Amino acid sequence: MNNSKNIARFLFGKGAFDELGSLVQPRRKTKDDYFVFLLDHFFRDSKMECRLPLEDQDLLLYVSTLDEPTTDAVNTLNRNIIDRKKKLPVSLVGIGGGSTLDTAKAVSNLLTNGGRAEDYQGWDLVRVPGIHKIGVPTLSGTGAESSRTCVMTDPLRNLKLGMNSEHTLFDQLVLDPDLPLTVPRSQYFYTGMDTYLHCIESLQGRCRHGLADAYSREALRLSREVFASEEMQSGANREKLMIASYLGGCAIANSLVGLVHPFSAGLAITLKLHHGIANCIAMDALGEFYPEEVGEFRSICEKQQIDLPRGVTSRFSDNDFERLYASTIIHERPLANALGEDFKSILTPEKVKEIFSRM
């Protein structure tokens, strides 16, 4: 039985970001105590940067989110902090979308556990709690703010996998629905759909329990309302999607995803597609496993006038398909959650190729 853990503290509501200083200040006990702010590079030189409760001794580091987090990028940030300071930070604040939040969680674990990011990719490999960490999402949907993982790709090992551990959970969240105000429409949609898919996959899985189901059902209800709306990015809908994202993250912290995420990981490894869009492309090709849900997903895309990219694997060689198979089938837990322990008898290399060929 899972001895589940969720986020201990959160500030929620319009203007919550202005309270960040009141969370930071009490943790500064001596003059060497410093904070690390990891900021999505999207906010470089922005108004957001001016609103940070920064002091001279703090480190402000930018996280490039052009590509999704890699183990190398996490190792480099970790090294950067260790090389520049004599002691560890009192806290680490991650501000940005899922990639920045995942990077903050991974760096926090690495600072106290030592070694390299790739040493902890898997389940419950993180030995001791990381540095105290505060998550401030500026984009809703990934659930990175409330999940117990931080996904990174390791291109050398053909692997996209997180440090799945209760130590990965943030200690504190600041959830301000005004922060995603400037997100481009398609990014808002693709990232928001991540939460819808977490819940669909969790509710269709074998590893279920009532509490995770309750989180999923409410997150699904809210995301359906957002995506059925004429103005999905209104203030009220930004708030609903922020709640849905948080609840969806709690749901998968207590259960597992299913088929969409492993197939999406394959696309991320081979085509470097971002998580949200890769999920949607994968979902569209999985109608035989999720017939009703794929029907609903397509009508949502139509309603929101989203044209999914087509033919993304049309130029793939046999070699590419082998790589896709390897980087999908490695996700044994979610695949077994969706199809049972003998999932490999259903997802043969030929079957996986056929599914990817539909994308």
How many residues touch Fe ion (CB under 5 A)? 1
Taking contact as CB under 5 A, which single stretch among the options 25-33, 186-194, 211-219, 301-309 is the one that binds Fe ion?
A: 186-194
Residue closer to Fe ion (CB basis): 24 or 175: 175
**Of 154 and 194, which has the nearer Cβ to Fe ion?**
194
| Rounded CA separation 219/32 (Å) | 42
In the complex, minimum distance from the CB of residue 264 to Fe ion, in angstroms, rounded to a whole number: 7
Q: Which stretch binds Fe ion (CB under 5 A): 82-90, 110-118, 171-179, 192-200?
A: 192-200
Cβ nearer to Fe ion, comparing 16 with 281:
281
Residues numbered 91 to 110 that lie near Fe ion (CB under 5 A) are none
Q: Report the residue number, 89 or 266, with the smaller CB distance to Fe ion.
A: 266
What is the nearest approach in angstroms of Fe ion to the Cβ of residue 259?
13
Distance CA 68, CA 260 (A): 18
Q: Residue 87 Cβ, how far from Fe ion at the closest point, in Å?
A: 35
Tell me which stretch binds Fe ion (CB under 5 A): 35-43, 193-201, 226-234, 308-316: 193-201
Q: Does 293 bind Fe ion (CB under 5 A)?
A: no
Q: Which tokens go with 173?
A: 């969240």
Candidates 179-187, 189-197, 296-304, 330-338; binding stretch for Fe ion (CB under 5 A):
189-197
Q: Which residue is nearest to Fe ion (CB)?
A: 194
- What are the two backbone dihedrals, phi and then psi, of residue 59, each rounded to the nearest 5 degrees? -110, 130
Residue whose CB is less far from Fe ion, 126 or 151? 151
Tokens 């930004």 appear where? 238
Is the Cβ of residue 75 or residue 327 nearer to Fe ion in the bound state?
A: 327
Residue 149 or 172 having the CB closest to Fe ion: 149
The 3-state secondary structure of the chain reads: CCCCCCCCEEEECCCHHHHHHHHHHHHCCCCCCCEEEEEEHHHCCCHHHHCCCCCCCCEEEEECCCCCCEHHHHHHHHHHHHHHCCCCCCEEEEEECHHHHHHHHHHHHHHHHCCCHHHHCEECCCCCCCCCEEEEECCCCCCCCCCCCCEEEEHHHCEEEEEECHHHCCCEEEECCCHHHHCCHHHHHHHHHHHHHHHHHHHCCCCCCHHHHHHHHHHHHHHHHHHCCCCCCCHHHHHHHHHHHHHHHHHHHCCCCCCHHHHHHHHHHHHCCCHHHHHHHHHHCCCCCCHHHHHHHHHHHHHCCCCCCCCCCCCCCHHHHHHHHHHHHCCHHHHHHHHCCCHHHHCCHHHHHHHHHCC
Q: Please state the closest distance from residue 9 (CB atom) to Fe ion, in A.
A: 24
Question: Minimum distance from CB of 267 to Fe ion (Å)?
Answer: 13
CB of residue 144 to Fe ion, shortest distance in Å: 8
If the CB atoms of residues 145 and 194 are measured against Fe ion, the closer one turns out to be 194
- 233 in the Ramachandran plot: left (φ > 0), alpha (ψ -120 to 50) or beta? alpha
Region binding Fe ion by CB under 5 A among candidate stretches 116-124, 187-195, 234-242, 325-333? 187-195
CA distances, 298 to each of 232, 295, 337 (Å): 16, 5, 24
Task: Rule CB under 5 A: say whether 145 interacts with Fe ion.
Answer: no
Based on the shown chain and the rule CB under 5 A, indicate whether residue 154 belongs to the binding site for Fe ion: no
CB of 198 to Fe ion, least distance (A): 6
Selected binder of Fe ion within 194, 201, 284, 293 (CB under 5 A)? 194
> Which is closer to Fe ion, CB of 131 or CB of 183?
183
Stretch that binds Fe ion, among 105-113, 169-177, 194-202, 315-323 (CB under 5 A): 194-202
Q: Which residues bind Fe ion (CB under 5 A)?
A: 194
